[in-house]
């Protein structure tokens, strides 16, 4: 959502998923599903078929003084997702997950 700048596209006018998809380049059906999911968790607000901002979604705007947009966007990258899969490695060894993820080797937990 952050990488598609949905919060920026929403602005202060309630909009449908179709309207937001047209501006962001997202698939309207997929965007609607994700917006409803995020609204269920308070990130956006939903009323009928329109979405509006909450305090959380405003922080995803690029013009917010304490914007989290770029930080949140990094979690949607393939590289970050792969590294998160090696969290156990980092916790067990104290070493960065990036190197282990790059090698593709799997480190099993000592109890296995």
Question: Can you give the pLDDT at residue 97?
Answer: 76
Q: How confident is the model at residue 104 (pLDDT cuts 50, 70, 90)?
A: low
Q: 52: domain range? A: 6-67
Is there a single domain that holds both residue 34 and residue 77? no
Of residues 99, 105, 70, 68, the one with CA closest to residue 83: 99
Nearest-5° Cα angle at 70, 67 to 76: 130
Is there a single domain that holds both residue 14 and residue 26? yes
Q: Looking at the domain assignment, is residue 26 inside a domain?
A: yes
Q: Quick check: 15 and 45 in contact, CB under 8 A?
A: no
Question: Can you give the pLDDT at residue 81?
Answer: 66
pLDDT surpassing 70 at residue 2 = yes
**Lowest mean pLDDT segment, chosen from 14-18, 26-30, 55-59, 71-75:** 71-75
pLDDT surpassing 90 at residue 22 = yes
Is there a single domain that holds both residue 13 and residue 62? yes
Can you point out the beta strands (E) in the chain? Answer: 15-16, 44-47, 50-53
Is there a single domain that holds both residue 76 and residue 91? yes
Q: Looking at the domain assignment, is residue 47 inside a domain?
A: yes
Is there a single domain that holds both residue 63 and residue 88? no
pTM of the model: 0.68
Residue count (the chain): 112
Is there a single domain that holds both residue 49 and residue 74? no
**Domain count for the chain:** 2
Distances (CA, A) of 59 to 38, 72, 97, 105: 14, 10, 28, 37
Question: Can you give the pLDDT at residue 109?
Answer: 52
Summarize pLDDT for 44-96 with one digit per residue, the tens: 999 999 999 998 888 888 787 777 766 666 666 677 667 777 777 777 788 87
Is there a single domain that holds both residue 30 and residue 53? yes
């Amino acid at each position: 959502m952050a990488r598609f700048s949905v919060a920026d596209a929403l602005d202060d006018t309630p909009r449908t998923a179709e309207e937001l998809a047209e501006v962001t380049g997202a698939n309207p059906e997929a965007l609607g599903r994700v917006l409803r999911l995020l609204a269920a968790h308070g990130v956006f607000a939903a009323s009928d078929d329109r979405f509006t901002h909450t305090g959380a979604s405003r922080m995803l705007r690029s013009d917010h003084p304490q914007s989290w947009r770029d930080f949140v966007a990094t979690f949607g990258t393939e590289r970050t997702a792969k590294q998160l899969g090696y969290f156990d490695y980092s916790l067990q060894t104290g070493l960065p997950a990036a190197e282990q993820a790059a090698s593709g080797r799997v480190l099993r937990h000592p109890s296995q």
